[in-house]
Structure 1
Amino acid sequence: MMISNYELHLIELILDQLFFKGDALERIDVLKVFNLRVPVHWRIEERTLGHFLFSVISGGRGQLFMDDEEYKLGPGSVYLIAPGKEHSISTDPKSLLEIHSVHFSLGDIVVESNCIYRMLLWNETRQYLDALKNSSYANYLPLDRYHSYAVKNSVLQILLMFRGCLMNLPKGEHNFISRLNELDGAADLTVKELAGVCGYTEKAFIRSFKKLYGTTPHQYMIKNKILQAEYLLLYSDFSIKEIASNLGYKDQYIFSKQFKKQTGCSPKGYREQLS
């Protein structure tokens, strides 16, 4: 999905109605907050919600299906689905999908049915996870007057941060951003091949990537794979050899060496210290 001016207009329409129809926080109603680790072969069949759904993926692999299109889900995937949008979700084999979601309504605010989707780096994702963590208190504590405002404020913070993500995209880079999810699970692709996927020469691709994310595509892929490895070491029974293979490493030794370089700990040591 391309992140376009139309999608920026969608979230600005939501915020404009929130702020110009009275007290913004009064209009937000948090319905439910979920922090789920879903099993392999799990699927949400096609459904249409009567409220907004905002989700962040912090681990695992899956797919989001809408309008006969498929969007890859992986660490750093963030999406906002408006009411009335039919969608379904499934996990990949051998992958525990970790989803953090908040369901909320905005009073009588009406927007055209749509979805905004984006891939983020981990440091950006953490901001949303922190906001969702604050919202999750709604599951456990009574919503008195003051606590209710704290929870509502978390949702407002999420919407404003999401607008900021779209506002900060450099002009002319929307198509580049829309194809960055090719990096997700692209263990067998070279940087040159990824550049071709995005319609760039290799040098232009690396230059644009560093401009947007402050790191090279190669380092991005390494960090992304190490995050996946940490998740699998923590939540799966896969052997280290199987994890290395699933992440595209031809040699377990190379994987272990790279894991230790990034984390300061061997895969075996990482798993043992968390068991």
Structure 2
Amino acid sequence: MKIQSLTQATGRPFPFRLLNAGWGIAHKPDCLFERADYGYCTIEYVARGRGVLESDGRRFECGPGDVYFLHRHSNHRYWTDPAELWHKLFCMVDGELVDLLMDSYRLAGVYRIAEAPRLRQHFEALAALGGDGAVRDMRAAAIFHQLLEACAETLYERTLPARPEVVELKRELDGCTDGGFRLEEFAGRSGYSAAHLIRHFREAFGCPPYEYLMRRRVETAQRLLTYTRKSVKEIAAALGFSDQYYFSGCFKARTGVSPTAYRSGK
């Protein structure tokens, strides 16, 4: 069976392009970039070193673990600290989907997220992508979506009045969409009972940890169904479901449609 790309199937170009991703290393102390009415969206993760970002009248000191945004149409300049040269991971993207996701996650007005080392994995995944243009863009769109979701979650967590152990539980659940999480093991490490964690997690997030994790797995499945060519069986295995039939039942219970119907848009 021949699988058509979205462009071939609809006659419209895919609404996301990964223009570049990888490492950006300042080799000179006077390394500086300055742009007016920037045409794309670039997000950078500082792995080492320090520097300064000035964008749209705002100024930010950026160091290891920080993420900063160079928004479309922004006027910005940024440079490395001569004594601590920048080593950064970055992604440069374009397309209608970029603007839609930035607005949806309320990141259009965000310029820096400080001390967010768990976001690094998404930049590394984008930098490691292979394949041709169309396939690469589809895979990149799914990872970029995950990156923005993680950015929004990081900012949201910092406004929560939840107990620290509950916030840490949420972080662990967010990173375990392969189904490998065990609440009893987390409870043992955290020093709190499973009952305590379930009760306070429900108070903070409106559902117990198991249901929260299941929803996250289904959300990941939705992205994989939309942006990849993986079969339902392959997606079920990647997300840690015992078989594709159990996965399909869990998916339909939370979305109202089967994975196959979701992919076809029916």
State the TM-score, normalized to the length of structure 2.
0.47
Higher relative contact order (CA 8 A, sep 6+): 1
- Normalising by structure 1, report the TM-score: 0.46
